[in-house]
Amino acid sequence: MISRLNVTSIYVLDKEEALDFYVDKLGLEKGNDVQQGDYRWLTVRARGDQSTEISLEQPGSPLHDDATAERLRELITKGALGGLVFITDDVRALYGRLRDHGVTDFTQEPTEHFYGTDMGLRDPFGNPIRILQQGKAVEQATD
Amino acid sequence: MSREVEELNRRLLRARDLMDRAYADPLDVRAVAAVAHVSPAHFSRCFRAVFGETPHRYLQRRRVERSMFLLRETDRTVTDVCFDVGFTSLGTFSRTFREIVGETPSAYRVGHGPIVAPHCVQLAALRPREAAGRAAPTEQF
């Protein structure tokens, strides 16, 4: 039986810029940062959450040939690749904090649904991110 | 060359996000093109090259998707729904809806109820596809 998701990955155009966004603006923490030759294994994760790491992968050598990397970069910037969904305990406060940090690429302001309140934004490269504050009914069901 | 393509993609995506976010507002091509830092004259062609349809059509399909959502989930009248999602004429709404969905808004409502899926999934996955056999989209915004 598989018990949990350990590592997922997301393509970024630049790992340093990704760190600036995901850690300094979004508030995640850096996980692993290991340089091996010209490859940097770099992960981020929700603060204090050791269970799931998000590996930040940059298209290009040694993972991809030049043509593949170029195609991936095009797809990232079109917003055509997969994104991330996070959970927060106060989405409206987070929305305010992100705006204070100069984040402008919101795809949706905090909006209430039957399952909770969520908002949408994009990372600097075009990847979609959603952040959900679960509703009370959902919280009780999963407690 | 490649970097320029990426930057243009990203700016056009920002313009597309604006349409997804502000579909209910009276958006005009000048305002949307400005978000992409592309001249209004070139915007439609650039957008179509990157996303496969004109911005006009993209916005129409977003508005129709949102109207389908309101028809499924609420008791608002078809006329209210039409204006809720940014159409300014009931005739244009009904014609566009029928062209894209293949039936009238009222008929669609009768056959469909709420869908239990997160909002983001509905936004991304339930925007109606191009109806088969319709004429190619115009270049006009």
pLDDT tens digits, one per residue of B57-101: 999 999 999 999 999 999 999 999 999 999 999 999 999 999 999
Task: List the single residue in A with minimal CA-CA distance to B50.
Answer: A78
Q: Quick one: CA torsion of A101, A102, A107, A113, rounded to 10 degrees?
A: 30
Predicted confidence (pLDDT) per residue in B24-43, tens digit: 999 989 999 999 999 999 99
In this complex, the residue of B6, B16, B17 whose CB is nearest that of residue A74 is: B6
Say which amino acid occupies A31.
Answer: G
Q: Nearest chain B Cα to A13, which residue?
A: B6
Stretches where chain A sits below pLDDT 50 are: none
Query: For chain A, how big is the Rg over CA atoms in Å?
Result: 16
Q: Is A23 helix (H, G, I), strand (E, B) or coil?
A: helix
A130/B120 touch (CB, cutoff 8 Å), yes or no:
yes
C-alpha distance from residue B127 to each of A27, A106, B2, B70, B123 (Å): 32, 20, 30, 13, 6
Contact check, Cβ <8 Å, A125/B10:
yes
Average pLDDT, chain B: 90
Q: Residue B125's pLDDT band (boundaries 50, 70, 90)?
A: confident
Does any CB of chain B come closer than 8 Å to the CB of residue A104? no
For A76-104, write each residue's pLDDT tens digit.
999 999 999 999 999 999 999 999 999 99
Amino acid letter, B83: F
Q: Which residue has the higher pLDDT, A60 or B1?
A: A60
Q: Which residues contact A39 (CB under 8 A, 6 or more apart)?
A: A62, A63
Burial class (CB in 10 A: 0-12, 13-18, 19+), A108: middle
Q: What is the mean pLDDT of residues B101-111?
A: 94
The band of B132, judged by pLDDT with boundaries at 50, 70 and 90, is very low
Q: How confident is the model at residue B139 (pLDDT cuts 50, 70, 90)?
A: very low
CB pair distance less than 8 Å for A111 and B119: yes
Record: contact A77-B17, CB cut-off 8 A: no
Residues A13 and A129: beta-carbon distance below 8 Å? no
CB–CB contact B13 A125 (8 Å): no
Name the residue with tokens 């997804």.
B20
From A85, A108, A126, residue closest to B21, measured CB to CB: A108
The predicted complex's ipTM stands at 0.90
Distance of CA A39 to the CA centre of its chain: 21
Residues of A in contact with B20 (CB under 8 A): 107-108
Q: Is A123 on the interface with B (CB under 8 A)?
A: no
Q: Using CA atoms, how far apart are residues A109 and A112, in angstroms rounded to an integer?
A: 10
As a whole number of angstroms, the distance between CA A122 and CA A138 comes to: 26
Residues of chain A found within 8 Å of residue B2, distances taken between Cβ atoms = 70, 73
Q: How far is B100 from chain A (nearest CA, A)?
A: 23
Contacts of A125 in chain B (CB under 8 A): 10
Q: CB distance from A122 to chain B under 8 Å?
A: yes
